[in-house]
Amino acid sequence: MNRHKAPAVKLALMGLKGINDWHYLPGIRNTPAAELVGGVDLQAEARAGFQEKTGLPAFETLAEIVRTCQPAAVVIGTPNPAHLPNVREAVKLGLHLSVTKPLCNTVAECHEALRLAADAKLVLQVGHEYRFRPSVARALELAKAGALGTVTMVVAHMGSSAGLQKLTAAGMWRSQAANVPGGCLNLLGVHLFDVVNALLGRPLAVTAQLRRLVSPSELEDTAAVLIEYEHNRVGVVTSSYASAPSDRIHILGTAGNAVATETTLHLEREPRPWARENVPVTDLSATGSAERVIGQFCAAICGQGLLETPGEVGLVAVALNEAAVISQREGGRRVALAELSGGLP
């Protein structure tokens, strides 16, 4: 029996600058299962730019776009502190939600977002798109297939000096610690928390050091986190706004290692000297990862697939960030995730 193809899911963008502009806008347009119907932003300048770029309407409030364009779902790419208020509003309007990382700034906020979506029977996805970058996705695939043997440790770093002054300029939301608890760890390291969790499973405890070395604002620009996982496995995540751009995920296994950057992947295997096997990655564009996120989102809304990054996955990444902030505040103390309010799923 032939299955009828589901109509494209009507999506709205909430937040028309930043990641929604450069990443999810082209990703939606390249996803056949999605139809972008318009955008929402409080800033008139952002709305005008979106309308000029897309030819689609833009509104000041979510209620206006729902009334005018009838979207089924919204992609929230607003500043971090707005995520939970935006989730509350979207749920009241009956919209499925894809929220760019991090889901929220605190574990308590994440729990509220999860509860609201579940009570309303709405799909809640977190846009942890970094795990879908082709080189990273291929490394995850190899590790999960057993090509590296038993994975015992993952060491991951993400650094970027680009835009540090802009990020921390007076009046910029990122310049205030309350808006980005953990600083560079909140903004960069959360990508890696998600990838390491995907590889090692359930985290148990965190020990962390966070520093402000070059930032002119309250933003911590250098961070290192040791994460303990079940079965005695270990993850190390570092992030920096004080270093040159650098993305590197080193997956260490009993039968070999994989090293993934944003654009490359190679394998390290015995016998020594290691033969470096270049694994072909055909699509190195970030847009490809946005298409994966949006494609899964639309499939889940239509009941035709499961999310790899549902709200619960986003909660665990936020829990690692929150535990790291507590560890730093309390002199580098080991913080068990069981101590966090509400616990983990």
Per-residue pLDDT, 161:
79
Same fold, 9-130+289-309 and 132-281+316-339: no
Q: Give 40's strand partners.
A: 14, 59
Distances (CA, A) of 115 to 61, 63, 98, 123: 23, 22, 15, 11
pLDDT in tens, 52-86: 999 999 999 999 999 999 999 999 999 999 999 99
pLDDT in tens, 217-242: 888 999 999 999 999 999 999 999 98
Class assignment of domain 9-130+289-309? alpha beta
Residue 92 burial (CB count, 10 A): 13
Per-residue pLDDT, 3:
52
Class assignment of domain 132-281+316-339? alpha beta
Q: Give 310's strand partners.
A: 125
Mutual angle of helices 190-200 and 134-144, in 10-degree steps: 20
- Residues 6+ positions from 184 with CB-CB distance below 8 Å: 219, 220, 221, 222, 223, 239, 240, 241
275 pLDDT higher than 70:
no
pTM for this structure?
0.94
Q: Where are the domains of the chain?
A: 9-130+289-309, 132-281+316-339
The string of DSSP codes covering 276-289 is EEEPP-S---HHHH
Rounded to 10 degrees, the C-alpha dihedral 9/72/113/192 comes to 20
pLDDT in tens, 305-320: 999 999 999 999 999 9
- What does DSSP say about strands 246-253 and 257-260: parallel, antiparallel, or unpaired? antiparallel
Question: Cα–Cα distance between 159 and 188 in angstroms, integer?
Answer: 7
- Residues 6+ positions from 127 with CB-CB distance below 8 Å: 19, 24, 75, 77, 98, 99, 100, 101, 293, 309
Give the lowest-confidence range in 9-13, 85-89, 108-112, 216-220: 216-220
What's the half-sphere exposure (Cβ side, CA atoms, 13 Å) at 218?
13
Per-residue pLDDT, 75:
98
DSSP helix, strand, coil percent of the chain (3-state; round to 5)? 40, 25, 35
284 pLDDT higher than 50:
no
Question: Cα–Cα distance between 121 and 118 in angstroms, integer?
Answer: 5
Question: Cα–Cα distance between 343 and 335 in angstroms, integer?
Answer: 13
